[in-house]
């Protein structure tokens, strides 16, 4: 009998760090993710996201979150993809970490974004989940550059970036809430500049899911030296 991972191999992909587990969102994860978001992510007076999705009323936020997850998942294709990963600590969803790429086989560049429930902020989880996807991207996918951005006032996010070796780029002006201008600081880090943690990740399920992300492209024309799965 077919398993769900036979139909959609990316559902078997899992990234494990010392305290966290990251995996592609499935429908049964939606209630826990939404509860984590509704418990609070940021001060309502300041909007850290380029799309102000946390401003939505409860019912609208629940529906739009589900629609967004389905939309992103349906758009995954080799060389062009975004993985929305639920971040769990001791079995409880505490936030989301995404990682995406466009023309990956040529650009070897990924972008990341994340949010973390307020009750879990200040405990090092934000840095751990970002470091986990960077280790995944650089060591298991063959990425060369990772890009991100944060509001110029979001010192905690920018602090995580600095601690992992990111360098600041340009500042772009964006509209977050209607009629509200904000500035976003762009940052990037190369594989060589990445300040690695003193731990590594265990990646399972990538061998089966690899074609969904990389298609027939080999990494640098050869097999990576880091095992694709364990």
* 66-80 per-position pLDDT tens digit: 999 999 999 999 999
Confidence band, pLDDT 50/70/90 cuts, at residue 23: very high
Residue 227 scores a pLDDT above 50: no
Q: pLDDT, tens digit, for every residue of 144-184?
A: 999 999 999 999 999 999 999 999 999 999 998 888 899 99
Rounded Cα–Cα distance for residues 40 and 164 (Å): 26
**Domain definitions of the chain by residue range:** 4-145+199-214
Residue 223 scores a pLDDT above 90: no
Contacts of range 49-52, beta carbons closer than 8 Å, 24 or more positions apart: 49/115, 49/176, 50/174, 50/176, 50/182, 50/184, 51/176, 52/176, 52/177
Q: Mapped to the 3 state alphabet, what secondary structure does 96-164 carry?
A: EEEEEEECHHHHCEEEEEEEECHHHCCCCHHHHHHHHHHHHHHHHHCCCEEEEEEECCCHHHHHHHHHC
Average pLDDT, the chain: 93
pLDDT confidence of residue 20: 98
Residue 93 scores a pLDDT above 70: yes
Residue 128 scores a pLDDT above 90: yes
DSSP structure class, residue 198 = S
pLDDT confidence of residue 216: 80
Residue 12 scores a pLDDT above 60: yes
In CATH, which of 3.40.50.300, 3.40.630.30, 3.70.10.10, 3.30.200.20 is domain 4-145+199-214? 3.40.630.30
pLDDT confidence of residue 159: 97
pLDDT confidence of residue 212: 94
Rounded Cα–Cα distance for residues 135 and 15 (Å): 10
Is pTM beyond 0.85? Reply is yes
pLDDT confidence of residue 180: 87
Rounded Cα–Cα distance for residues 168 and 53 (Å): 26
Q: In the predicted model, what is the mean pLDDT of residues 41-63?
A: 94
Rounded Cα–Cα distance for residues 76 and 4 (Å): 17
């Amino acid at each position: 009998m077919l398993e769900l991972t036979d139909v959609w191999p990316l559902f078997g992909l899992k990234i494990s760090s010392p305290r966290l587990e990251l995996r592609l969102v499935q429908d049964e994860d939606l209630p826990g993710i939404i509860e984590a978001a509704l418990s609070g992510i940021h001060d309502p007076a300041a909007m850290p996201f380029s799309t102000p999705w946390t401003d939505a009323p409860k019912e609208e936020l629940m529906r739009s979150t589900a629609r967004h997850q389905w939309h992103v998942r349906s758009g995954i294709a080799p060389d062009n993809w975004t993985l929305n990963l639920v971040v769990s600590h001791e079995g409880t969803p505490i936030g989301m970490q995404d990682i995406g790429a466009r023309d990956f086989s040529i650009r070897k560049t990924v972008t990341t974004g994340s949010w973390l429930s307020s009750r879990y902020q200040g405990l090092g989880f934000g840095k751990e989940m970002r470091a986990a996807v960077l280790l995944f991207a650089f060591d298991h996918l063959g990425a060369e550059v990772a890009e991100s951005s944060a509001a110029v006032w979001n010192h905690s996010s920018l602090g995580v970036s600095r601690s992992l070796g990111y360098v600041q780029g340009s500042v772009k002006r964006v509209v977050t809430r209607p009629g509200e201008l904000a500035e976003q600081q762009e940052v990037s880090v190369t594989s060589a500049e990445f300040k690695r943690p003193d731990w590594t990740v265990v990646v399972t399920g990538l061998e089966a899911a690899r074609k969904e992300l990389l298609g027939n492209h080999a990494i640098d024309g050869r097999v990576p030296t880091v095992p694709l799965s364990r």
